[in-house]
Structure 1
Amino acid sequence: MESEYSPTELMDRGSRPNRYYRNAVERHWDPAEIELETDLENLRAYADDADDFDRAELDAIVTGIAKFGAGEDAVTEDLAPLAVVLDDIDDQLFLTTQLYEEAKHADFFDRYWRTVVWGVEDYLGWERTSPRADRWFDDAYLELFERNRRAMHRLLEDDTPENRALAYCHYHLTVEGILAQTGYYGMSRSFGGEFDDLPHLPGLVEGFDRIRSDEGRHVGFGMNQLEALVEAGEIAPSLIEDTVAELLPLVQGITEDDRFAPDEEPVGLKPGELATYAMEKHGQRLTQIADAAADVPSVEELVSIDDGDR
């Protein structure tokens, strides 16, 4: 019987996915090497120095960490369908690094919760909380990630250009390109030592910087794929605009979740600052995809962390 197997094409070393793959290999990092003892000490000291430090105050600090951890778990699980349907060797090379990196991100937040959050709860004599408890996740968060899951798994049933575009819009453009980047900005600003009334958590900020750099590549890949679909005439730019516009209220609901905010005047970022940042990211992403004169940023730009962007 004649074999149906045929060798795949050679790698395109100059393609964006291949360059993103190589960049990921060269910028490898290990979540276990990030030092967290200083964060634990600083958070303990913060609790000791505060007047009547209570559960609500700790919850306000760690809720973002819980959301990031659960989000990284979700995107790790939900990326697999894309790896199944893409058949370009360079796309596959890149996706192997993205799957690996999403797993590392989930690893970092799990380690942070076990080391720092549980460490502080043990120090205060409180019951340990679960980072997957329902209490951390508002309806907007649950809805956004459920829509992302459905968009990704739809590829296994009906792999069309439109469904690929929807998957990229949900996963790479909205969850990673807008929501996550906004969250990293807010958390890094809040706990980077800028505000005297918030604890300085350098290990958390270092983890965010590493993850933001990885996800710059992820977002660039999704933007490149969407740009290619638009240029080939397989989808209209309006599909991207309409899909992201439909998801933005959920992003806004997540960034404005104040269920754990203290009753007194909030410290740190001003109300509405994160929502403004999210809208700016949204505008940048759409311009870079739809405007032929505004090319997708280079891989060096995508992975760089600008201190002024925290």
Structure 2
Amino acid sequence: MRKFATNQPGRLEDDFVVGLYHKSKRNFWNPQDLDFSQDRQDWNRLSTDQQNVLLQLSALFVGGEEAVTLDLAPYLLHVTRNGSFDEALYVATWTFEEAKHAEFFDHFHRKVVGGTPELALLHVESWKQIFYQALPQAMNALQIDSSAVAEVRALGTYNLIVEGVLAETGYRAYKEVLEKQNLMPGLRKGLSYIQADEGRHIAFGLHKLSKLLFDYPQAKEALEDVLSELIPAAIGIVREVFAAHQPMPFDIYEEDFVDYSLRQLQHRSEVLQRPFNPN
């Protein structure tokens, strides 16, 4: 007979994870509610070089958001197989939020850029290494391998590299370009919602990784392998995007973003080095 967590009196729950689930509900937003009318006017006033930079950035984001939406499904199945109802609640909202993020960028392309250009042409090689190969491989491995090592590889790839380094560095680029020049209020508003969502995703990933590394210290080597494999690709994305736009408009500089990427990773690594309290 199947056992349901909701039928069990006095069941154990992870209060941190349940708290993230409730916060997701309280912070609901709808991409269709955003007004892009001013964004369209701002876009039309940009130079071709400026448009090309923003288009490549949004192309990498929309492709990445679609990828993480699709690639998260094995993790939801993984936590349900483990009987973790509290985690299933949160991962379900997490998946929904990633879908909204992809919808948001697609909506931006349709309303502001004007249609959906062949965005795959803007996917640089290091980005392909992560989103065409490393991410789906790590997440899909959970369908046949439910070990702590496989879960650490999956969350390390997803939360530390994709969200903790790549997405955060992308938000920094948008901030440097859009906020300083007071451009595209609709895009900026949506980005603020997305960054708040991603903050919860990263918080869950760090929490779960800390728990896994506490319970299975041998999995630390798997996390180190993920980082050594993917940090060069993460930095490569920054370098390849800058190389594609010379001279780079908006007065932004490659080394600033490389340094920022590495600081983001260092910050998350320091969190994982703190003692984990299982209670």
Q: TM-score, normalised by structure 2?
A: 0.90
For residues 8-23 of structure 1, what are the structure 2 equivalents within 5 Å? 8=5, 9=8, 15-23=15-23
Aligned counterpart in structure 2 of residue 6 of structure 1, from 3, 9, 15: 3
**Deviation, structure 1 residue 103:** 0.7
Aligned counterpart in structure 1 of residue 150 of structure 2, from 142, 160, 163: 163
Q: Note the residue ranges of structure 2 that are not aligned, 5 or more in a row.
A: none
Quick check: 1:220 aligned with 2:241? no
Equivalences, count: 269
Aligned counterpart in structure 2 of residue 140 of structure 1, from 121, 126, 146: 126
Aligned counterpart in structure 2 of residue 283 of structure 1, from 266, 269, 279: 266
TM-aligned CA distance change 1:212 to 1:80, over 3 Å: same
**Structure with a larger share of its residues in helix:** 2
Cα distance in 1 for partners of 2:116, 2:34 equals: 23
Instruction: Tell me the equivalent position of 2:113.
Output: 117
**Deviation, structure 1 residue 266:** 4.1
Cα distance in 2 for partners of 1:214, 1:102 equals: 9
Q: Which amino acid aligns with 2:65?
A: E
8 A Cα contact 1:59 1:260, kept in partner: no
For residues 195-210 of structure 1, what are the structure 2 equivalents within 5 Å? 195=181, 200-210=183-193
For residues 6-85 of structure 1, what are the structure 2 equivalents within 5 Å? 6-8=3-5, 9=8, 15-46=15-46, 53-54=47-48, 56-85=49-78
8 A Cα contact 2:166 2:261, kept in partner: yes
Three-state SS of the structure 2 residue aligned to 1:77 is helix
| Identical counterparts, % of pairs | 27
Three-state SS of the structure 2 residue aligned to 1:235 is helix
Quick check: 1:108 aligned with 2:101? no
**Deviation, structure 1 residue 236:** 4.0
Cα distance in 1 for partners of 2:40, 2:75 equals: 38
Query: Once the two structures are superposed, what CA deviation does each residue of 1:131-183 show, in whole Å capped at 9, x if it has no partner?
Result: x5332101100111121000000000111110000000011111011110111
Cα distance in 2 for partners of 1:137, 1:259 equals: 13
TM-aligned CA distance change 1:182 to 1:11, over 3 Å: farther
Three-state SS of the structure 1 residue aligned to 2:259 is helix
Cα distance in 2 for partners of 1:175, 1:11 equals: 33
**Deviation, structure 1 residue 78:** 0.3
Q: TM-score, normalised by structure 1?
A: 0.81
**Deviation, structure 1 residue 114:** 0.2
Q: Which amino acid aligns with 1:113?
A: H
8 A Cα contact 2:171 2:195, kept in partner: yes
Instruction: Tell me the equivalent position of 1:188.
Output: 175
8 A Cα contact 1:57 1:260, kept in partner: no
Quick check: 1:261 aligned with 2:245? yes
Q: Which amino acid aligns with 1:139?
A: E
Q: Name the Cα RMSD after superposition.
A: 2.0
